[in-house]
Amino acid sequence: MGAALSVTQNILHAESIQFQHDQMSILMTGSKVLYEVELTAPNDGRTCKATRELEGKRFQFNEVPDLPLPNCDADNCRCVFLYHKK
């Protein structure tokens, strides 16, 4: 039961982050402001190795990886996107 709950939480978190990313995309449509996107998670020792490897790397808006990352090894995905103006 615990594993199923964890998978469900990861899916819901990923869907929430994707929704936020989609909303940001809508806001940017027609905007001259360009953004780069950074993937991050709380630094409390429970962040997955996949995110730690990408920490600090900035992506173009249309190149952001899907969450949870394919090789995520965290019990619960807690990754978020940070948006930086170029």
pLDDT at 58: 92
Alpha helical stretches, state H, 1-86 = 2-28, 49-54
How many domains in the chain? 1
Residue 28, Cβ density class (10 Å: 0-12 exposed, 13-18 middle, ≥19 buried): middle
pLDDT per residue rounded down to tens, the chain (86 residues): 566 666 677 667 777 777 777 777 766 667 766 788 888 887 777 788 888 888 889 998 888 888 888 888 887 778 888 888 87
Structural domain span for residue 42: 2-85
Strand partners, 35: 85
Please give the model's pTM, rounded to 2 decimal places: 0.66
